[in-house]
Homo-oligomer: A and B are copies of this chain.
Amino acid sequence: MRERTVTIREVAAAAGVSTATVSRTLSPDGAEGVSEETRLRVFAAASKMGYRANHAARSLKTRSSRTVGIIAPELTNDFFMDLAEGIAGELERQGYTLLVASSANSVEEEKKRVAMLAERMVDGMVVIPAGSRGDHLAARALRRTPVVLVDRLVEGADVDAVLSDNEGGAYELTRRLLADGFRRICFVGGDAAISTARERIAGFSRAMLEAGLHLNGETIRSGGMEVRDGYTGMGAVLESPSPPDALVAVNLLVHLGMERRLLEYRRRPGRVLPVIAAFDETAYTPFLPACRYTAAQDAAAMGKEAVRRILERIAERRTVEKSPVGRSPLAGEETGGERIIRLPVTIVRYRGSQEDRRRR
C-alpha cells in the first residue's frame, strides 16, 4: 500500500496539459498566465492525486530553498526565543521556513554553521554573532546570500543589522535611577568585544556625566555577559566598603545572576539592598525582588524587521540578476550599502515587590 510519490508529469497527464502548465499553475508566487479553466483542471487533478511539489527538485532548479537560517550563540535564552517566534511567524506567512542552528558561543562553530546553511541554499541568514568579528559573514553576504545581524554588530561585516537603541535605553534607565534620588550607581556586566555592551555602557556613562557624577574604577564592573558574571559582580558590589545603592545590569543573564546573589545575601540582616535597573524583560521579571526598572527590547518586532530586510534583499537580488545589464564592475553593492535599524526600547517600572517585602 506504499504510496508512490506523485510527480508533476502524472498530474499533467491527468489534467491533459503539459508539465510546464502544471508548474506555472502551482507556482508558489501564484499562477500567472494560466487561464481560469486550465487552472481549475490542474488544481482538481493535483489535489485529487495528492500532489506535493518536490522541494529539492524545485530548489535545484531555482537556486532558492525558500528557507531562512538563524544562528544564535545559544538557543536557551528568552530573547532568542521571542526573536525566533517573531521570525518564524513572519516567515511562515510568506511561505518560508526557518532553519535553526546554535553557534554555542563560538566563532569557530559559527563559521561551520554558516557554511552548512550556505550549502543548504538558504535564501538568507539571520545571525546573532558570537564574536566581535564577522568576516565570514561578510563573505557570504557579498556573494549570494543576504545576511542580517540582530542584536549585535561585528567588525568586518558591512551587512544589514537590526538592533535596539542600546545607548538610549541605558541612558534612560540610568536617568530614572537618578531621578529617584540614587547617586551611587554602578554598571554591572559587559564585554568590550560586544557592541551591545559597549553601547549600553556608553549610555550609562553619558547619563552619569550629565548628572555631574564621577566615574571611578569601580563604577563600571564589566567582566562578562553571563549569569555567573552577574553573580560575581554582585558579590563584589556587596563586599565593597562603600557599596552603591543602585545598579544597572547589562542584560538578562547578568541581571539574573545579580538577583541570585542577592537572594543569598538577603539572609543577613541590617543592610539596605541596592535597587536594580536592567536591560531585558521576561514574564518572570515582576518576581525579581531588586528590580525596579527594565529596558524591554521588542524581540518579536526585531525578528519581523529582520525578516523584512532579508526578503527585501532577496527581491533585490532577483531583479538585479534579471536585469539585462550585468553587474557593474565597480566595487560595492549597487543595491545601497548596509542598513542599520534601531528599534526603541520601553522602560518598565516595577514597584511594590521589593518595598513590600521589606515591610513585612
Interface residues of A (CB under 8 A from B): 2-3, 52-57, 59-60, 65, 67, 74-77, 80-82, 84-85, 88-89, 92, 97-102, 113, 115-121, 143, 227, 256, 259-260, 263, 266-267, 282-284, 286-289, 327, 352-353, 356-360
Contact = CB atoms under 8 A, between A and B. Distances in A.
A287 to B, nearest CB: 4
A316 to B, nearest CB: 15
Contacts of A75: 81, 84-85, 88
B327 A2 contact: yes
A60 B65 contact: no
A120 B358 contact: no
Nearest to A116: B97
Nearest to A96: B116
Contact of A56 (B60, B82, B89): B60
B3 A143 contact: yes
Contacts of A92: 101-102, 113
A92 B359 CA distance: 52
Contacts of A356: 266-267
A356 B266 CA distance: 9
A102 B74 CA distance: 19
Given A97-B99, A356-B267, A358-B360, A52 B118 contact: yes
A75 B72 CA distance: 15
A125 to B, nearest CB: 13
Nearest to A269: B360
Contact of A101 (B97, B263, B287, B289): B97
A98 B97 contact: no
A356 B263 CA distance: 10
21 contacts: A3-B143, A60-B60, A75-B81, A75-B85, A80-B81, A81-B81, A84-B100, A92-B101, A92-B102, A97-B117, A98-B99, A100-B100, A263-B287, A263-B353, A266-B356, A282-B284, A284-B287, A284-B288, A287-B287, A287-B289, A358-B360
Given A88-B102, A97-B117, A256-B283, 14 more contacts: A2-B327, A55-B119, A56-B65, A60-B60, A67-B120, A75-B88, A76-B85, A80-B81, A97-B99, A97-B101, A100-B100, A260-B286, A263-B287, A284-B288
Contacts of A98: 99-101
Contacts of A89: 102
A244 to B, nearest CB: 22
- Most B CB contacts (10 A, CB to CB) among A80, A89, A120 go to A120
Contacts of A359: 360
Given A98-B101, A284-B284, A85 B74 contact: yes
A88 B76 contact: no
A303 B260 CA distance: 28
A227 B80 CA distance: 21
A229 to B, nearest CB: 15
A57 B55 contact: no
A77 to B, nearest CB: 8
- Most B CB contacts (10 A, CB to CB) among A60, A99, A118, A287 go to A287
B287 A259 contact: yes
A17 to B, nearest CB: 22
Contacts of A55: 119-121
